[in-house]
Chains A and B, each alone.
Chain A
Amino acid sequence: MNGVVRLILHRLALGALTLLAVSLVIFVGTEILPGDVAEAVLGQGATEETVNNLRKLLGLDLPAHIRYLQWLGSLLQGDLGTSLTTGKPVIEMIAPRLENTLFLAGTAALVAVPLAIGLGLVAARFQGSWLDKTISISTLAAISMPEFFVGYILIFVFAVKLRWLPSLAKLSPSMPLGDKLVLIILPCATLTLVVLAHMMRMTRAAVINVMSSPYVEMAELKGATASRIVMWHALPNALAPIITVVVLNLAYLIVGVVVVEVVFVYPGVGQLMVDNVAKRDLPVVQACGLVFAGTYTLLNMIADILSTLANPRLRHPK
């Protein structure tokens, strides 16, 4: 187990470096973008006088590297800073949004991951049959459509035509859990359809790959049923690539859902980040960037650790 602890520490240190690099890239990126927060906030209505007033008010008249170091300094003290456009602490803006994002991603994962692995196993078990083909074709068809299109189709069928579900997922913090779940059925279904194929295909391929190993043939010879072979002999040895793909998709569910948030007016972090990039509100953009980069780093680390644990050869290196 010592190796695993060392791996975690090593990964955490690298993760912190990654975050620092990401924050620098985001800062430089927003500096390169045309216009600053003062011009963006005032938009077409900006005059030179009001722009200068706002710049002075927000401290934008300082040189870029000083602003970055100031931001980094307060971050190290645990302070994400204050939004330039709303004047609210960034943490107050991002916390409820992050909760929503995790809620949607979590629910979608609870549906999508078991479904994808289950379908993958069924497809592997009945490889080449009509069932396998139907599963593959339908999930591949779903992933081939852009997610906003999947969302629009679901809205059209279930909200406009059948009127079973609301077309907007406008959550509010005070809502009971049941109401929240009803509201996110459509976005959740959209996300599920989008991530299903990737995980399902990987499960199927990994299991089929293992199925051609000599020990599976041995299991067949000793008389084990096909289902038992898939579940007990093939799956545990195919876990590593499946875990990697599942975790990659989990990360996508958290950081890649801006389009779905826009279509369903879901108050998540993605929308917050896009709005604030448009307004050049650097502290908020930085915070969102750190959340996203942190999510990726953390989930990748978990994927590596789980793969190591799932593989006896890596668990007990010689």
Chain B
Amino acid sequence: MSGHDELKWLATHGRVTRREFMGRAAALGVSTALASTLAGNAAFADDAPKKGGHLVLGLDGSSSTDTLDPMSYCCTAQYTLGYQFANSLVELNEKGELDPELAESWDTDATATKWVFKIRKGVQFHNGKELTAEDVIDSLNYHRKPDSTSAAKAFFEPVTEMKATDTHEVTITLNGPNADMPYILTDYHLLILPAGGDPKAGIGTGGYVIESFDPGVRAITKRNPNYWKENRGFVDSVETVGINDLTSRTSALQSGTVHFINRVDPKTVGLLKNNPDLTILDIPSAGFYTLSMLCDAKPFDNADMRLAMKWALDREEILEKVLGGYGVVGNDQPVSSLDRFYADDLPQHSYDPDKAKFHFEKSGHSGPVTLTIADAAFPGAVDAALLFKESAAKAGIEIAVDKVPEDGYWSDVWMKKPFCGSYWAGRPTADMIMSLMFISSADWNESHWRRDDFDKLVLQARAELDNAKRKQMYRELQLMMSEDSGVMIPAFNNFLFASASNLKGLIPTLVFTGYRIGEQLHFTS
């Protein structure tokens, strides 16, 4: 068997995970791009998907306070249900680019400030109403309006005007250029609902129609016979069950009560792998964990102090022990290696007690440094803090780990204590994550890091339509964050899913993987 044939065989017979497949591919000297294509076309997405069957998803992040209103979405179970009954304007694909969804095509002027979206014709909502530009405007304005409580509200701050320029055309004008504007519309809150309708009604253009919704327990949807999208929506019905308890979720999959679960525990994934009836899906993501220092608070207002921390952190150890190896080490900047604009030639921060000691002494600080942490920050955050304490001790730096309750962590600790942790789901573009958490005016400027030259360059890069020039600018930006900001990124975490092995079709993307499984998954037997 030649190398490629072996890969194809492995892929089509579905007995390997994506991780193993990529590992095998690397061993055979196949380029990552080709291996991705093979994996994408074979093990992950079958060529001729079979229709039919009742799909049961067991997902965490569900609560009896959930509603169908996209404005209130906070967690996986809700996103996944949202994409069953509704669509967005655009869809992120495997290559990190945009595929048309309810927007058929889009275009911009030379300044990247005016964007025109052509809306797909002949698409019907579940209530029979035909999709027009009005529905799109109404759905986006729902998040944009002044009294909105939507997490997507901030995306619309640069929008100065949004209007229907035809029955099926929407023109969005920005207060400044943004070459990535359509990427904003991949956000899972921005579902298109019928204009003037009740946003809690669960009526959309999606591949599945809401049949019943019992918050925190389960939702049942039936295939929409009029679904406009080709090659999506295979199973007859989808049941989304909220199972927040990890052990219950795992045993529900093992017992065959559900077919697919999210957030598998890296500690027990090895046991599931031994089961021939199950497949583990281990997918790299742009999501990451952080330990952040406030640059306007003592002692972290000193750049050497921040560097001391960065060199005192043993990233490999945290990746191995906290993430179980399911991730990639970080380099204190938020652009993942999967991103179009990732700079692969930056100096990597690694564990170096001598450098840590040098910068610590140079900072002039003496005495312990307090790290406030709870497992709410990210899974295993307390363990990570304790590992950090040990590795820093070897550099002569004393870290006092202050373990606080998970409850209230986001309101009382995060971005308030000088040194604490957090997690980020990642964003589809480098610009979005930088604008969200690194520019001076960002609401979630996690480390209170403010640099005018950085802010200016972000704006410049955002306006640039020439990708080669942009890449150079983003390299510069990544370097600034890595060297100077207060955000430490120990690791990017992988998505870990597990499914019945006769289930195929998950499309991995840089962020949001799994949110659209309702219309992607299909049974092979």
- Residues from chain A with Cβ under 8 Å of B245 in the complex: 262-263, 265
Number of residues from B at the complex interface, CB < 8 A: 45
In the assembled complex, the Cα of A42 lies from the Cα of B152 at a distance in Å of 11
Residue B345 is within 8 A (CB to CB) of chain A in the complex: no
- Given A155-B248, A267-B214, the answer on whether A272 and B241 have CB atoms closer than 8 Å is no
In the assembled complex, the Cα of A317 lies from the Cα of B74 at a distance in Å of 62
Residue A163 is within 8 A (CB to CB) of chain B in the complex: yes
Residue B524 is within 8 A (CB to CB) of chain A in the complex: no
- Given A43-B74, A47-B154, A278-B407, the answer on whether A57 and B147 have CB atoms closer than 8 Å is yes
In the assembled complex, the Cα of A258 lies from the Cα of B176 at a distance in Å of 52
- Residues from chain A with Cβ under 8 Å of B408 in the complex: 33-35
Residue B141 is within 8 A (CB to CB) of chain A in the complex: no
Q: Which of A68-76, A165-173, A201-209 contacts B (4 or more CB under 8 A)?
A: A165-173
Q: Which of A48-56, A129-137, A191-199 contacts B (4 or more CB under 8 A)?
A: A48-56
Name the prevailing secondary structure of the B interface residues: loop
In the assembled complex, the Cα of A239 lies from the Cα of B154 at a distance in Å of 66
* B215: contacting residue among A49, A86, A262, A281, CB under 8 A: A86
Closest-CB distance, A115 to chain B (whole angstroms): 26
In the assembled complex, the Cα of A267 lies from the Cα of B414 at a distance in Å of 32
B242 x A265 contact (CB < 8 A): yes
B251 x A86 contact (CB < 8 A): no
B65 x A279 contact (CB < 8 A): yes
Residue B217 is within 8 A (CB to CB) of chain A in the complex: yes
Residue B9 is within 8 A (CB to CB) of chain A in the complex: no
A168 x B243 contact (CB < 8 A): yes
- Given A167-B252, A271-B216, A276-B64, the answer on whether A35 and B151 have CB atoms closer than 8 Å is no
Interface residues as binary, B250-280 with A (CB distance below 8 Å gives 1, 0 otherwise): 0110111110000000000000000000000
* A53: contacting residue among B67, B147, B243, B255, CB under 8 A: B147
A160 x B151 contact (CB < 8 A): no
A163 x B218 contact (CB < 8 A): no
- Residues from chain B with Cβ under 8 Å of A2 in the complex: none
Interface residues as binary, A52-67 with B (CB distance below 8 Å gives 1, 0 otherwise): 0110110000000000
- Given A83-B65, A278-B407, A279-B65, the answer on whether A168 and B149 have CB atoms closer than 8 Å is no
- Residues from chain B with Cβ under 8 Å of A264 in the complex: 248
B217 x A265 contact (CB < 8 A): yes
In the assembled complex, the Cα of A170 lies from the Cα of B32 at a distance in Å of 43
Residue B148 is within 8 A (CB to CB) of chain A in the complex: yes
In the assembled complex, the Cα of A276 lies from the Cα of B215 at a distance in Å of 12
In the assembled complex, the Cα of A47 lies from the Cα of B58 at a distance in Å of 31
Residue B501 is within 8 A (CB to CB) of chain A in the complex: no
* B255: contacting residue among A33, A35, A83, A166, CB under 8 A: A166
- Given A35-B411, A168-B257, the answer on whether A50 and B151 have CB atoms closer than 8 Å is yes
In the assembled complex, the Cα of A284 lies from the Cα of B444 at a distance in Å of 31
A168 x B410 contact (CB < 8 A): no
* B64: contacting residue among A41, A56, A271, CB under 8 A: A271
- Residues from chain B with Cβ under 8 Å of A278 in the complex: 63, 407
Residue B114 is within 8 A (CB to CB) of chain A in the complex: no
Residue A275 is within 8 A (CB to CB) of chain B in the complex: yes
* A155: contacting residue among B148, B154, B212, B251, CB under 8 A: B251
> A: which residues have CB within 8 A of B?
33-35, 38-50, 53-54, 56-57, 83, 85-87, 93, 97, 152, 155-156, 159-160, 163, 166-168, 170, 172, 262-265, 267, 271-272, 275-276, 278-279, 281, 284
7 contacts between A and B (CB under 8 A): A39-B410, A87-B67, A160-B254, A167-B255, A271-B216, A278-B63, A279-B65
> B: which residues have CB within 8 A of A?
58, 63-67, 72, 74, 147-151, 153-154, 200, 212, 214-218, 241-245, 247-248, 251-252, 254-258, 407-408, 410-412, 414, 422, 443-444
